[in-house]
Amino acid sequence: MQYTIRNVPTEIDQALREQAATERKSLNQVLIDVVARGLGLAQKPKKLRDLSDIVDGPPLEPEVIQALEDQRRIDPELWE
């Protein structure tokens, strides 16, 4: 389906073009996304079921890193 929109205010045009450039999308796709969000039809982002919220946390202290390395070490005597 195609639509023609006339008399778009300059500030709206500029904002849409900036958003298109920032998101590296076509102006057409940005307009579709904006209209869909405005109508409550935009797809909600998928909830990730991974550990990214933990993995992307603050850097670990050296003591914690050493403790993790100690836990990963395999004891050959346990495998005999």
What pLDDT sits at residue 30?
Answer: 96
Nearest 5°: CA angle at 73, between 62 and 66? 5
pTM: 0.52
Nearest residue to 42 (alpha-carbon basis) of 55, 51, 33, 50: 33
Q: Write out the residue range of the structural domain in which residue 47 sits.
A: 10-75
Cα separations (Å) of 21 from 8, 9, 24, 26?
Answer: 18, 19, 5, 8
Q: Above 70 in pLDDT, residue 53?
A: no
**What number is the average pLDDT over the span 5-34?**
95
Average pLDDT over residues 22-45: 91
Inside any domain, residue 4: no
In a domain, residue 71? The reply is: yes
- Does the residue 57 lie in any domain? yes
Helix (H, G, I), strand (E, B) or coil at 69: helix
Q: How many CA atoms lie within 13 A of 32 on its CB side?
A: 9
Please give the tally of structural domains in the chain: 1
